[in-house]
């Protein structure tokens, strides 16, 4: 039997066949024509250069396959990223549709926007305004409202109220020139009250005018004094006895005091108790006039606007 062309012949059972097979260390199959892979000849030395070229070719094919797979994977990832970006872009477009259209914005950048200036609350009414004019001083006025209670207290001094009196005949409750002064300046009424403590008595007379100017003028022009109110106390400051007198004005009210001893004793500069009693009664009356203005101002502030 013959294997390949141009090679030696061996008969069946030829022991050299097996020997030749063993000598073929490469164990490769012989191609027809007596050639082996790699360009060697049967029974000869392999063509190592051809084998190397074949191995290199296989490496190049493997590398090309790897590169091709990487390019394909990169393309797939790129496509996925592009799809995500496009989807995100569509989301932004949708949210942008909720923004105001240009037609709803001001057409002119220089157009002034409406401004609102906060309005300051009206200042509270001035209490003195209410006791400076008869037009605003409309609260009830009497001896009871001006001198309430049975006693008055100024500091740590307390005085008993002996009696009160009110008249529209202003000149009838005065001494000396004070009567004409009150009448000439438009006095409407005089309210008197007497307070006493420890043998000392003080009468205060409040002359009421229409305006503050009238009251101040009467106070400045005053001469003589208010007549003592001898109600609840012995007669004092009459029949030529020396007494202490004062004159003041606030708002449309002028108020005058006369104070002395109920025994008829003359008052001197050293009689501090008489001076203190007169000042205390005048201070109490001033506070009552001020309180009258405050009460009316508070009522006006609380009233609804008209």
Strand, helix or coil for residue 228: coil
- The pLDDT value recorded for residue 101 is 59
Mean pLDDT by 10 residues, the chain (306 residues): 40 40 42 46 56 65 58 58 52 53 56 67 86 97 98 97 98 97 98 98 99 98 96 94 97 99 97 98 98 96 76
Residue 196 parent element (H or E) = strand 189-197
The answer on 148 and 257 residing in a single domain is: yes
**Does 5 map to a domain?**
no
In a domain, 304, yes or no: no
Co-location of 55 and 181 in the same domain = no
Query: What stretch of H or E contains 214?
Result: helix 212-221
Instruction: Count CB atoms within 10 A of the CB of residue 178.
Output: 27
104 assigned to some structural domain: no
- Domain check: are 221 and 150 in the same one? yes
CA–CA distance, 134 with 298 (Å, rounded to integer): 18
285 and 151 within one domain? yes
- Retrieve residue 213's tokens: 């100017």
Q: Is residue 65 situated within a structural domain?
A: yes
Spatial separation of the C-alpha atoms in residues 141 and 160, rounded to whole Å: 21
Same domain, residue pair 177 and 246: yes
pLDDT at 253: 99
Output the CA torsion sign for 82, 88, 91, 96: negative
Count Cβ atoms below 10 Å from residue 243 Cβ, excluding itself. Answer: 23
* Residue 164 domain-assigned (yes or no): yes
The answer to whether residues 287 and 225 belong to one domain is yes
Whether 66 and 192 map to the same domain: the answer is: no
- 169 with 292, same domain: the answer is yes
Q: What is the pLDDT of residues 223-281, one digit of tens each?
A: 999 999 999 999 999 989 999 999 999 999 999 999 999 999 999 999 999 999 999 99
Size of the chain in residues: 306
**Whether 39 and 139 share a structural domain:** no
Q: Of the candidates 230, 232, 222, 233, which has an alpha carbon nearest to the alpha carbon of residue 175? A: 222
Question: Which H or E run includes 280?
Answer: helix 272-302
Q: Are residues 148 and 289 in the same domain?
A: yes
Domain of residue 56 covers 34-76
Looking at the domain assignment, is residue 226 inside a domain?
yes
Contact between 237 and 194 (Cβ < 8 Å): no
Q: Let me know whether 62 and 156 are in one domain.
A: no
Q: Where are the beta strands (DSSP E) in the chain?
A: 151-154, 157-167, 174-175, 189-197, 200-208, 225-226, 244-250, 253-261
Based on the structure, what is the number of domains in the chain? Answer: 2
257 found inside a domain:
yes
Q: Looking at the structure, tell me whether residues 53 and 195 fall in a common domain.
A: no
Beta-carbon count within 10 A of 300 CB:
14
The Cα angle at residue 292 between residues 287 and 294, in degrees rounded to 5 = 90
Q: What is the pLDDT of residue 303?
A: 82
Is 4 inside a domain boundary? Answer: no
């Amino acid at each position: 039997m013959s294997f390949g062309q141009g090679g030696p012949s061996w008969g069946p059972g030829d022991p050299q066949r097996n020997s030749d097979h063993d000598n073929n260390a490469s164990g490769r199959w012989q191609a027809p024509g007596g050639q082996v892979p790699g360009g060697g000849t049967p029974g000869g030395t392999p063509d190592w250069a051809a084998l190397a070229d074949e191995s290199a070719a296989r490496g190049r094919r493997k590398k090309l396959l790897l590169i091709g797979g990487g390019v394909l994977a990169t393309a797939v990832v790129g496509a996925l990223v592009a799809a995500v970006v496009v989807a995100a872009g569509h989301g932004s477009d949708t949210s942008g549709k909720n923004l105001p259209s240009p037609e709803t914005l001001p057409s002119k950048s220089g157009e002034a926007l409406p401004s609102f200036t906060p309005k300051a609350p009206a200042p509270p009414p001035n209490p003195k305004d209410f006791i400076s004019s008869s037009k605003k001083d409309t609260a009830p006025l009497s001896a009871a409202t001006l001198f309430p209670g049975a006693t008055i207290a100024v500091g740590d001094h307390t005085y008993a109220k002996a009696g009160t009196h009110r008249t529209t005949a202003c000149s009838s409750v005065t001494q000396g020139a004070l009567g004409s002064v009150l009448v000439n300046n438009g006095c409407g009424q005089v309210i008197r009250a007497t307070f006493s403590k420890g043998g000392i008595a003080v009468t205060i007379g409040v002359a009421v005018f229409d305006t503050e100017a009238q009251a101040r003028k009467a106070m400045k022009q005053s001469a003589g004094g208010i007549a003592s109110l001898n109600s609840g106390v012995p007669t004092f400051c009459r029949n030529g006895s020396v007494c202490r007198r004062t004159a003041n004005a606030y708002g449309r009210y002028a108020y005058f005091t006369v104070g002395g001893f109920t025994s008829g004793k003359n008052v001197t500069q050293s009689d501090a108790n008489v001076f203190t009693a007169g000042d205390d009664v005048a201070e109490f009356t001033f506070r009552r006039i001020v309180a009258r203005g405050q009460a009316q101002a508070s009522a006006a502030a609380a009233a609804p606007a008209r």
